[in-house]
Structure 1
Amino acid sequence: MNANGNQDAELDRLERSLRASEELDAASWELVRHNLADRADAAGLVDVAFERHDTPLGTVLIGATNEGLVRVGLPAEGEDAVLTELAKRVSARVLRAPRPALTDARHQLDEYFDRRRREFEVELDWRLTRGFRHAVLVATARIPYGATASYREVATEAGSPNAVRAAGTALANNPLPIVVPCHRVLRSGGELGSYRGGAPAKAQLLELEAAAR
């Protein structure tokens, strides 16, 4: 049997195990889930691992590949929408499973919201952004904690000062909010502008950083 055949057989076996565990109580199901996740990961069947993490904004979904953190899904986005995006744009092999980048992200998010961290140091996988959008996010990542920049300033830093609208689109679709701090980018008049997690979440992050200065 070739490698794909082995993987298909393993997936079938895992699916049967899941169906057989449907009547388990919560504690037993959690044990089964961890076991299945570990086995799937060991079998090379997981391309994107994810976990849920509680924050003052609500529960965020964080996803990682072997390359690093690939997605931070904010509560307003909806968990199903984030998982569907990962399945379509990265790989259909998405499973709740451990990854070093997820552990790092959880700890660093806690430190950030406790005002004990001003920069994120987790490894990032940038595959969900390319070209000018990637340049915009790299420029945004350089905005210091507690500071803000305008959309035009970010577009200029990314190499296209007249591409303000395109910069706004890139920021509105930032796959790594909070970690890549697009909440620090405001309209030229100081208005919040759009945010993937909603205006209240953007305001909350800005207030958090202002209070920590």
Structure 2
Amino acid sequence: MQQLYFQTIIWQQIPFTLIANDHALVYISTQKDFQTELTTRYGSVQLAAKATPIISLAITELNNYFKQPSTPFTVPLEPLVATSFQKLVWQGLTTIPVGTTLSYQQLAQQLKRPSSTRAVASAVAKNPFLIMVPCHRIIRNDGQLGQYRSGSTLKAQLLALETSQTNLT
């Protein structure tokens, strides 16, 4: 069993628990019971509270994002489990500019997989890197926010944060 480490920061009264192995960030959770969330998704995991260099970098970069959403993320990311298609979709999410949104269908077209909208939506839903891989920038075709692993309120807050910052520049 792989040893994982975690630390939690708070933004807008929302806990963000950053989980990493020795060389990369592996998951970001907003659940108070993040251990159950991880176990449900990945099976048994071994966690220890520890501020590793990777977690410290991730905390710094998230705090910078909350102040200035256009700040790029450089922390290494390594999902615990991912298919090649999920990785393709998650990479596609990172190309969406701050303060803008795409629909699931538009993302599927951008990835040159126009008939894969449902598969793209499923991959977006399994994104383990909230904010850093910006799945909150994906909306439904009808313009509604749609679902978000951490709730539609947080999704709306993140989009509002990004929109307000991009309007200032």
How many residues of Structure 1 are paired with residues of Structure 2 in the alignment?
A: 166
Report which of the two has the higher share of helix: 1
TM-score, scaled to structure 1: 0.71
The question of 1:205 aligning with 2:161 is answered no
- How far does the alpha carbon of each residue in 1:80-103 deviate from its partner, in whole angstroms, 9 at most, with x for none? 323424762xx6332112221100
Q: What are the Cα deviations for residues 48-88 of structure 1, in whole angstroms up to 9, with x where unaligned?
A: 1111111125111110112311100023x742323424762
Q: 1:190: which partner in 2?
A: 143
**1:148: Cα distance to partner?**
1.1
The C-alpha deviation readout for 1:157-201, integer Å capped at 9, x for no partner, is 334211111111111121111110000011122111111011111
Identity rate, percent: 31
User: Is the CA contact 2:27–2:79 (under 8 Å) kept in the aligned structure 1?
Assistant: no
Q: Is 1:47–1:94's contact at 8 Å kept on the other side of the alignment? A: yes
2:12 equivalent in structure 1:
56
**Change in CA separation of 1:190 and 1:86 when aligned onto 2, cut-off 3 Å:** closer
Provide closer, same or farther for how the CA distance between residues 47 and 80 of structure 1 changes in structure 2, counting only shifts above 3 A: closer
Superposed counterparts of 1:60-209, under 5 Å: 60-75=16-31, 78-85=33-40, 88=43, 92-115=45-68, 117-209=70-162
Change in Cα spacing, 1:116 to 1:147, as seen in structure 2 (3 Å) is: closer
SS at match of 2:158: helix
Supply the AA of the counterpart residue of 1:171: V
- Give the SS at the match of 1:177: coil
Does the CA contact (< 8 Å) of 1:171 and 1:182 recur in 2? yes
- Structure 2 vs 1, CA of residues 86 and 167 (structure 1 numbering), >3 Å: closer, same or farther? closer
Matches of 2:2 and 2:84, distance apart in 1: 27
Q: 1:86 to 1:193 in 2, by over 3 A?
A: closer
Rg bigger for which structure?
A: 1
Structure 1's consecutive aligned runs of 4 or more residues displaced over 4 angstroms after TM superposition are: none
- The 2-side partners of 1:152 and 1:116 are apart by 25
Could you say what secondary structure the match of 1:51 adopts? Answer: strand
Larger relative contact order (CA 8 Å, sep ≥ 6): 2
What CA distance in whole angstroms lies between the structure 2 residues aligned with 1:96 and 1:180?
24
3-state SS of the aligned residue for 1:137?
Answer: helix
Does the 8 A contact of 1:68 with 1:101 survive in 2? yes
TM-score by length of 2: 0.88
Instruction: Answer yes or no: is the 8 Å Cα contact 1:86–1:92 preserved in 2.
Output: no
Q: Is the 8 Å Cα contact of residues 50 and 63 (structure 1) preserved in structure 2?
A: yes
Provide the rounded CA distance (Å) in 1 between the counterparts of 2:50 and 2:42. Answer: 15
Shift of the alpha carbon at 1:118? 3.0
Deviation for aligned residue 1:108: 0.9
Gaps of 5+ in 2: none
Q: Is the 8 A contact 2:69 2:161 kept in 1?
A: no
